[in-house]
Amino acid sequence: MEEDVSRSLDVELSELAGMLLADETLDSTLERVASVTVRAIPACDAAGVSLTEKGRVVTAAISEPLVATVDNHQYDTREGPCLETLRTGEPRRSESLAHDSRWPGFAPRAVAEGVISCLSIPLVVGNGAAGALNMYSRSVPFRQSDEDAGREFGVPASAAVANARAYAKSQELVDQLQEALQSRDVIGQAKGVLRARTGCSADEAFETLREMSQRRNVKLRDVAEEVIETAGGGSHDG
């Protein structure tokens, strides 16, 4: 039995190791991590990846809708294995949620969804972000052997998520800079406006534009045009 678990883990680790970043999006990578987790951990019926960035926890990928529902119960009640794992960096496991007194708000809601047992494993994602691999079972309890397998699986899963995030961020920056180059005149003018207005450096002005673009999910060129429109109260005549 233990050998079967080990073999199953090997096969799934091979799938993670075989993912080409350039062929995947961040979302598709996270979804594969979730689906691979279901196959790798024997007791796992459903799995998801939760990520926290700037203090906000979100469910980034799920193997089935149940995961989002149960994760939301954790977020709503502000307790549960995922949130504790994110806070402590340690795995959290409940063999029987119906008899677990640690999470009085969350556990009854999870049981009502048909979940009998759960396991959360920390993901080390880097760059100020943390993550958790959340596993739920409707059929059999997560045992110590599942937790051990989860801990082993968590290392390459962390690498897969971290690598996908790093690549996605770098690709996003490349795309933004290419767009910026195409729009350099408009952006240059906006940098000049910001520098004259605030006394910042050229790099700081560009960074300000980029942050505005990211925060509002608006193209850099459009943000620059908005800044130019406000120049000295005047209008941009192209």
Partner 1 sequence: MTGEERAEVPGLSALWLSGATLEQTAESVAQLALALRGCDGAGVQMLGAAGLDPSVGTDARSRDLNDLQDAVDDGPGRECLRTGAPLELHPTTPATAWPRFTSTARAAGLLACSALPLRSNGSRVGVLNLYAWEGMQFVGWDRSECDLFAAHAGVGLTNAQSLARNVQDIARLEHELGSPDDVYAEACGVLMERHHQSLSEARAQLAKAASQSQSSIDAEAQRVVKSLG
Helix 220-229 and helix 184-198, axial crossing angle in degrees, nearest 10:
50
Listing DSSP states for 77-146 in one string gives HT-SHHHHHHHHSS-EEES-GGG--S-TTHHHHHHHTT--EEEEEEEEEETTEEEEEEEEESSS---HHH
Give the nearest distance from C-beta 152 to partner 1 in angstroms: 8
Which CB, 68 or 202, lies closer to partner 1?
202
Give the nearest distance from C-beta 133 to partner 1 in angstroms: 14
Q: Which residues contact partner 1 (rule: CB under 8 A)?
A: 6-7, 10, 13-14, 16-23, 126-127, 152, 155-156, 158-160, 162-163, 165-167, 170-171, 173-174, 177-178, 180-181, 184-197, 199, 202-203, 206, 228, 231-238
Which CB, 36 or 44, lies closer to partner 1?
36
Which CB, 127 or 144, lies closer to partner 1?
127
Give the nearest distance from C-beta 22 to partner 1 in angstroms: 5
Give the nearest distance from C-beta 167 to partner 1 in angstroms: 5
Q: Are 114 and 138 in contact (CB under 8 A)?
A: yes
Which CB, 111 or 129, lies closer to partner 1?
129
Exposure of 181 in the CB half-sphere (CA atoms within 13 A): 5
Give the nearest distance from C-beta 175 to partner 1 in angstroms: 10
How distant, in Å, are the alpha carbons of 68, 72, 102 from that of 76? 12, 6, 16
Which CB, 65 or 199, lies closer to partner 1?
199
216 torsion bin: left (phi>0), alpha (psi -120 to 50), beta (else)? alpha
